[in-house]
Structure 1
Amino acid sequence: MLSNPRQNQATRRFSAKSLLKLSGVVLGLGLSLGSIAPATLASDHDDGETNTKSRNLNLTDLYVFREGDQNPNASTDDLVLIMNTNPRSVARQQYYFNNKARYEFHIARTPDNDATPTGKPDVTLRFEFSQPKPNQTQTVKITTIRDGSSHVGKAITTPLNSDPKTTQVPMGGQTLFVFAGLREDPFFFDVEQFFRVRAGALGKGPAVGFRDPDKAVDFTTGYNVNAIAVRVPIKFLQNQSGATTFDVWQTISVRGKGGKYRQVERLARPAVNEGLIVSNDFLNALNSVGPDFEAAALAGQKPAAKVAGPIVNEAAQTLKAIGNDDQRTNTLLQAFLPDVMRIDTTDTSGYGNALNSKGSPIRGRLLKDDVVDITLSVLTNGAITTDNVSYEGTPGNPSQGHSPLQTQFPYLALPN
């Protein structure tokens, strides 16, 4: 397990110049940019709302784990995939999935933990929602596309203040379990102090580090998200292949004129595309393509390599600006691009539990994994190790802490 010691002195020693450059990285970890940052920056935890992109078309987080690692009474033969959307959903208010969009998980079989991601899915789990009904539910059309064969099923969303509705959906000889509805946002990060740190780096305030645990503020406390959770047998993903390692990513596509769908969001690991890329146009470009585009670009294939050249250069510049030399920058780019979340299903899930030979996480992501601390530590080469915020929060600090996770699928805490 990667260690995350809470050492504020390391944060304070990090130079003001490096902290300023780090803003482009940390913004990708989950800032509400639509309300607290300029629109020229973007983050896939919350891009903000525009005339062409509503909040329910924003992806916030992806979680992938063996169910038995979240629940000791469950099987490790099943994976749980969770897609969170619609950031900043305020308490006691009903929110809906977009009825003109496709929300999709994409899964690619991988020959081994060290293989370069292809970004080409073998399995797609697609979710399409009806218009809201008077009882505040939406019908869900579920389509699985596996090795070219499709199956269709249906589910129903869970409205606010209702017991969770989990639907069993037979698909290709296996049974998937599906939940869709509001849950508490499990993400955690002291975004307020980050802006103070950045102001100090800009010379517009005192030079400070992250706050001590008893004073740090978790900006997502009290907010909900719309979640799609799926329990899927590993055998369904294997489809007689014997694969045990999978790459996962998620997308949202919107139906346009003529019924054609246009991809507007893509997300896998936290703080990769949206963290390393500062220019909004570049981020929007990556949101519109798949990780196969990144794979082609890194392999030097045209036209992807030519188109992606400036984007990859910006990612490299960001990494160098926060203290990485050329060799480490190239190593990090190879480790985190293409942007997929890899999970080796033969061992315990957890974002920091294991890395492959390229330095890339390979054990998915559990709901309480401190991805902010892990990412800060990796990208700054240990100069910053923590923002002093955790899921449970610091005892006695009312500005931190989330509700307890549920003991059964879909595991996310009940909505506020």
Structure 2
Amino acid sequence: MNSMKKTNLWILGGLVSLGVVLTAADHLDAPKVAGTTADITDFYAFEGATASNTVFVANVQSSLAPAGTTASFDENVLVEINIDNDGDLIEDLVIQAIPRNSIMYFFGPFAPGATGLNSTINSDASYLGEVEISTSSEAKTATANGISYFAGLREDPFYFDFSQYNKVIAGDAPNGFNVPGTDDFDNTNVLSIVVEVPNEFLGGTFDHPAGTGAKVFNAWVEAKTKQ
């Protein structure tokens, strides 16, 4: 990791946020980043292979051509997973991912020195990892300090009849949506960043705001560009 130095002034480029057990999507509709390498398509957080782990999946760059064609992460885009342990919607921990020369480097989780729109890559974080970026159907993974990593092309998991949706919004579909609909994202890819982390590394939890009795934390992802 010696080639990765502390770099500051990474500015917010795109944002999708969600509770740890929910999902949200942004495909092609964020005005400032749509169609750019900083466009976040989906963010997922769910229980890992064991109940003691949590998996985070951040996807960027929607509607890429099928596997085997060229697509790459942008070395000027930092992907940052944020974790809020007390319900104030301010990140208490972050996990950072940045590509260099076909390798995705990971930093954290760690407590950031500052919160908000600007970030600093922390090459001195206690938890560091790296994985070769996968460019085909073969998934190359790596593990360090009990944290598992993946980065690369994967089929877009988002199912949506986008064409019919546009017709409905425009008032050109009097019968509404088709059943079944057509998946306009079929046979397209996204670039995925996947991290499976032991829960003991993720800090505390708080009571679910709806009073369900469940213990939760908030998580959201940001794409930040170097300025």
Q: Which residue of structure 2 aligns with residue 266 of structure 1?
A: none
Would you say 1:248 and 2:219 are equivalent positions? yes
Q: Which residue of structure 1 aligns with residue 185 of structure 2?
A: 220
Counting only pairs closer than 5 Å after superposition, residues 12-411 of structure 1 correspond to structure 2 as 30-32=26-28, 42-43=29-30, 47-49=33-35, 54=36, 56-67=37-48, 74-91=49-66, 92-110=68-86, 117-131=87-101, 138-147=102-111, 150-151=125-126, 153-161=128-136, 163-170=138-145, 175-200=146-171, 205=172, 207-213=174-180, 216-238=181-203, 241=204, 244-256=215-227
The answer on whether the counterparts of 1:47 and 1:58 sit within 8 Å (CA) in structure 2 is yes
- SS at 1:151 equivalent: coil
TM-superposed CA distance for 1:96, in Å, is 1.0
Distance 1:192 1:242 in 2: 40
- SS at 2:83 equivalent: strand
With CA pairs under 8 Å and 6+ residues apart, which has the higher RCO, 1 or 2?
2
TM-superposed CA distance for 1:193, in Å, is 1.1
State the AA in 1 paired with 2:182: V
The answer on whether the counterparts of 2:25 and 2:43 sit within 8 Å (CA) in structure 1 is no
Q: Which residue of structure 1 aligns with residue 11 of structure 2?
A: none
The answer on whether the counterparts of 1:59 and 1:84 sit within 8 Å (CA) in structure 2 is yes
Deviation digits for residues 347-374 of structure 1, max 9, x if unmatched? xxxxxxxxxxxxxxxxxxxxxxxxxxxx
Shift of the 89–102 alpha-carbon distance from structure 1 to 2, 3 Å rule, reads same
What's the % identity of the aligned pairs?
23
TM-score (norm 2): 0.73
The answer on whether the counterparts of 2:27 and 2:42 sit within 8 Å (CA) in structure 1 is no
The answer on whether the counterparts of 2:60 and 2:191 sit within 8 Å (CA) in structure 1 is yes
TM-superposed CA distance for 1:150, in Å, is 2.3
TM-superposed CA distance for 1:126, in Å, is 0.3
- SS at 2:202 equivalent: helix
Shift of the 154–89 alpha-carbon distance from structure 1 to 2, 3 Å rule, reads same
Deviation digits for residues 142-193 of structure 1, max 9, x if unmatched? 11152358235242233323521111122xxxx2101000110000111111
Structure having the higher helix fraction is 1
Structure having the higher strand fraction is 2
Distance 1:87 1:197 in 2: 22
Distance 2:44 2:173 in 1: 37
Segments of 5+ residues of structure 2 without an aligned counterpart are 1-23, 113-123, 207-214
TM-score (norm 1): 0.41
Q: Give the length in aligned residue pairs.
A: 184
Deviation digits for residues 193-214 of structure 1, max 9, x if unmatched? 11222332xxxx462311122x
The answer on whether the counterparts of 1:101 and 1:252 sit within 8 Å (CA) in structure 2 is yes
TM-superposed CA distance for 1:89, in Å, is 0.7
Distance 1:159 1:145 in 2: 23
Distance 2:182 2:205 in 1: 45
Bigger Rg, which one: 1
Segments of 5+ residues of structure 1 without an aligned counterpart are 1-27, 33-41, 68-73, 111-116, 132-137, 257-416
TM-superposed CA distance for 1:95, in Å, is 1.2
State the AA in 1 paired with 2:79: Y
